[in-house]
Chain A
């Protein structure tokens, strides 16, 4: 079965006065129906830009999608102009997005009710009254008490966690096929994070929606994601089923990421953290070799002389882009 959304060799570049930034440089990924996917990487690796490119939300200039395809239900979305009706009927309706900052992604001068009914009226052509009823239902579903009276409230009257619940309700209001959550829990406390993740999982199951969780914290996706993509400096460097990525990582960056986070119940006397040495690369004027090379512990002459390796199968549906694939962990 063809995936619901297939991104092929997507390239998004930014022209800056210091040089060309290849923020996304040949990313391919699939999102299947009703699947939960994790897109993991550190800040600046291009994970958000990838997602924004799918929805054509890259501001141009300086950004430009210079190549690739985004096939959604058989149609290449990149053939549409960003502001065309065709793209507008997909953005927010069929593919919805939740952003990191619930503070800045809600309009502070409009009521929650107005912001909730807007997309219902535009995409589903509902009457104002019907949209309001639906909004109350949605707010109720995401666990906002006294939803009917809260429609008139403004975003500042809600806490961070509540605002993110409202964002989830808005994103799901048009019953999208895909929900993209870009660092949905970075700005909230762990207990709220747990609440929101459980809520998102329940909601996508109920609405038969696919979910993409974009995060820098591998732990966040371990419980929920079926498949994981790991990104590093604009490319996917490893992808596969969640169990394989966490239990049998093959790219040295993924291995490093897993080793450098403290595990609960481990004190420093039991295990010292193993940091990844060095810094993430500057994306301007990247060398042709593997971008992880300067930080890699296992680099060989092959890595130093050959161009960036392509993703190659290392297991069942498990791919890694490395010349020096680590043996399977015992």
Chain B
């Protein structure tokens, strides 16, 4: 896994991101939130890796670590072969121009006082690719690429609909011609009919521009549709990675099985026959995760060994990796 290959755009090795819990006036540290706890994975060029899990499992933190918006507690983040984890801010800038990010909330992620043209063109100025006021042509091109009418360049975000705003966000992410785009729940805030438009746009752009995606979402059916491989996270750890078809047909981890069975299928005949594994209880707090396998208190096949031992991610063949001692 740690072998460096020129094909891999991203290689994450033993990444840990702990946030301190402080208390009192002196902000004494009393513990850690282990948002990301020792995860490793790679994303190949032109690939889409899906990252799924419930809220609070650390999927967004992982994305932010790759963008180096957080400085990880430990571990290595190799982006096109260079390690970002120890880089200083001024060195990071050039690396970041090759990464784009699309965020969940198309309302909160666009400055309401900037016109669309500035929003999309600003990354070009920041990375020194264009001068202020001279990026009009490139912005116009970007508008066309994402399916927006260039005559809307002078409008402000509230004049766009939710789907159009998400297109603006995509145009901004594409501005500097990045090789990697971190898509953090890009469609969860959109209506279903608009969701499909954005998913199709992302797929077309990937084919046309040779992009690599890390696609973070909680909706497994969307993730599975867009991704080549899917990684499932639970409380800061990756518990299963497999190619998308394989994960659906042959899920190995009991949590993945439960996630799959919880997704509603819009067909009553199938739905009524499906047995649903309803998970008991709730996700425990990442400040005090259960010992051993984090999932054992909610697992229906847990044995005593699960309480003591942290299961390792083991390859079961064909790159299907799972962290469960009962498999």
A residues adjacent to B (C-beta < 8 A): 42-43, 159, 161-162, 189-195, 198, 216-220, 222-223, 242-243, 246-247, 256-258, 260-268, 272-277, 279-280
Contacts and interface: CB of A to CB of B under 8 A. Distances in A.
A305 to B, nearest CB: 26
Given A262-B224, A273-B196, 15 more contacts: A189-B218, A190-B219, A220-B264, A223-B274, A246-B266, A247-B267, A257-B192, A264-B248, A267-B227, A268-B203, A273-B199, A275-B196, A276-B193, A279-B163, A280-B191
Contacts of A242: 268
Contacts of B192: 42, 216-218, 257, 260-261
A292 to B, nearest CB: 11
Given A219-B265, A243-B268, A189 B200 contact: no
Given A267-B245, A275-B196, A219 B264 contact: yes
Contacts of A272: 200, 203
Interface in B207-243: 218-222, 224-227
A228 to B, nearest CB: 9
B247 to A, nearest CB: 10
A326 to B, nearest CB: 17
Interface of B: 54-55, 161, 163-164, 191-197, 199-200, 203, 218-222, 224-227, 244-245, 248-249, 258-269, 271-272, 274, 276, 278-279, 282
B280 to A, nearest CB: 9
A194 B224 contact: no
Given A189-B54, A222-B268, A261-B221, A275 B197 contact: yes
Given A192-B282, A275-B200, A263 B276 contact: no
B196 A261 contact: yes
Given A262-B199, A263-B221, A266-B225, A223 B193 contact: no
16 contacts: A162-B282, A192-B54, A194-B264, A195-B279, A222-B266, A223-B264, A223-B274, A261-B192, A264-B220, A264-B224, A264-B263, A267-B245, A273-B200, A279-B194, A280-B191, A280-B193
Contacts of A220: 264
A191 B258 CA distance: 8
Given A222-B266, A223-B272, A242-B268, A191 B245 contact: no
B191 A264 contact: no
Contacts of A262: 196, 199, 221-222, 224-226
B268 A223 contact: yes
A101 to B, nearest CB: 14
A256 B260 contact: no
Tell which of A195, A216, A265, A277 has the most Cβ of chain B within 10 Å: A265
Contacts of B55: 189
A264 B265 contact: yes
A268 B225 CA distance: 5
Contacts of B196: 260-262, 273-276
A243 B266 CA distance: 10
Contacts of B194: 275, 279
Contacts of A218: 192, 266
Given A43-B191, A261-B192, A273-B196, A193 B224 contact: no
A191 B267 contact: no
A166 to B, nearest CB: 14
A193 B262 contact: yes
Contact of A279 (B161, B245, B268, B278): B161
A161 B276 CA distance: 18
B127 to A, nearest CB: 31
A203 B227 CA distance: 38
Nearest to B52: A190
Contacts of A246: 266-268
A190 B224 contact: no
A222 B260 CA distance: 16
Contacts of A222: 264-268, 271
A167 B98 CA distance: 47
Tell which of B193, B248, B278 has the most Cβ of chain A within 10 Å: B193
B282 A265 contact: no
A318 to B, nearest CB: 14
Contact of B249 (A42, A265, A273, A279): A265
Contacts of B191: 42-43, 216, 280
